[in-house]
Amino acid sequence: MLNLRKISYRLAVYFWCLAVIAWMGTSIANASTWYSAGSVYLGANATQVMADPNRPYVYAIDRINNKILFINTTTKTVTKRLYVGKDPTDFDIDASGNYLYVGHKGSGSGAPGSFKIGTVNLNTQTKTGDFTIPVEYHNSSLLRAVNVTAGRQGRLYYNAGYDLWNGGSGHAVNTDTWTDLGSFAGVKSPMVISSDKSRLYGQYIYSGNLGEMGVWDVSTDSINRVDQLRFSPYPYGWDYDNYSLSGNDQYLAYGNVLFDAGNLLNQYGVFPENIYQLSFDGSIAFGNTSIWDTTTFLTEGDATWLQDMPVHTTIMDFDAQSNTLYSFNPSDQRLYMVVVPEPSTLLLLGSGLLGIIMRKRRRIA
């Protein structure tokens, strides 16, 4: 004979668990559960971190000790500290994924020939050579590689940053022959590049020492500027150095503004703080103190605050492969792995919860 009371109870528990699982899924969609899944003590003050999309490693620059740190994300340990030259300032992984290019100051003498770009083989974790920056003077200061960005296979871009007061001088390099291809614009800021390596973004000099946003077509060696916008606040243009591009190449964050990466005249909105990383689809933005939902720009006019950053910092890199934000905290010299549970994981947990409840009910019955 059917026990309607038992059946009704089980159905109620079942639907309650389904509601919990659905709520979990909604929480994930809103990305409201980012948390620190662990950290690695670096024992150094990192100035930049970069996740390797092909290996379980994050690389960090230790400018004080002139080292590149190799951080294993599986064992959560620093496995190597590699000297590449004095005062490394910036690095990037080439299109093949096998080499890391590092801008540095060689012996540190500051003499002609001392400014270089080092090459590190990521498979062997060894330095394989240096490219010497051409001897070129700007206002009595030598050209150098402060900011470096890898382009399509065989191409690399660098600029002298703010070290040259009136001439950032963005250059292209053929890394197959290690030939400098000359200057294409007075770029001074850190640069970002689209995933297909065809669009380069950065802040450049448009007149005197006044700066504006620029976008260059770097799909060939005939580099052309294809977009520009007089920002940050006219007329100076050097207020920010935090360019970040979403992995799908649709969104560009600069300063505290979210731009359409394909047309700088289109801006989605303004954040209450500067943004230092974007998620792959640009729906999530990471600031110094907070994590933001950018999708509400179109419906509410503002980004929605989701939660505090687990670590307040500007030194971070988002890895789309693992959906992880790697953020360095200078106060304790630790690299934090900030993640959000995958929907499938939460659904599995919810299903497990349902099974446990039903088994317990059967035992009681």
Average pLDDT, the chain: 88
What digits encode the pLDDT tens for the residues 106-125? 999 999 999 999 999 999 99
Per-residue DSSP letter, 343 = H
Boundaries of every domain in the chain: 1-33+343-365, 34-340
For residues 362 and 279, the model is more confident at 279
Backbone angles phi, psi at 190, to 5 degrees: -55, 150
Whole-prediction pTM: 0.86
Range 34-340 classified under CATH 2.130.10.10:
yes
Say how far residue 150 (Cα) sits from the centre of its chain: 14
pLDDT at site 344? 44
Is the pLDDT score of 26 beyond 50?
A: no
Residues in the chain: 365
What whole-number distance in Å separates Cα of residue 183 and Cα of residue 216? 13
Per-residue pLDDT band at 336 (split at 50, 70, 90)? very high
> SS3 string of 132-158?
ECCCCEECCEECCCCEEEECCCCEEEE
pLDDT tens figures, 264-285 = 999 999 999 999 999 999 999 9
pLDDT at 350: 44
Residue 27's pLDDT is 41
Q: Which amino acid is at 256?
A: N
The pLDDT of 337-345, averaged and rounded, is 69
Q: Which two tokens stand for residue 329?
A: 């905290």
Reduce the secondary structure of 10-38 to three states and give it as a string.
Answer: HHHHHHHHHHHHHHHHHHHHCCCCCEEEE
| Between 36 and 363, the higher pLDDT residue | 36
Q: Taking the alpha carbons of 53, 54, 57, 62 in that order, is the dihedral positive or negative?
A: negative
Which has the higher per-residue pLDDT, 151 or 209? 151
Quote the percentage of the chain above a pLDDT of 90.
78
The whole-angstrom separation of Cα 111 and Cα 120 is 24
Beta bridge partners, 318, equal 325
pLDDT at 165: 63
Residue with tokens 């974790």, as numbered in its chain: 125
pLDDT value, residue 209: 85
Please tell me the distance from the alpha carbon of residue 355 to that of residue 214, in angstroms, as a whole number. Answer: 56
At 8, the pLDDT band (50, 70, 90 cuts) reads low
Q: What is the predicted pLDDT for the residue at 23?
A: 44
pLDDT at 341: 63
Judged against a pLDDT cut of 70, whether residue 15 lies above it is answered with no
Distance CA 195, CA 326 (A): 20
* pLDDT (average), residues 222-246: 94
Task: Please report which confidence band the pLDDT of residue 167 belongs to, taking 50, 70 and 90 as the band edges.
Answer: low
pLDDT score recorded for residue 359: 52
Question: What pLDDT score was predicted for residue 346?
Answer: 40
pLDDT attached to residue 164: 74
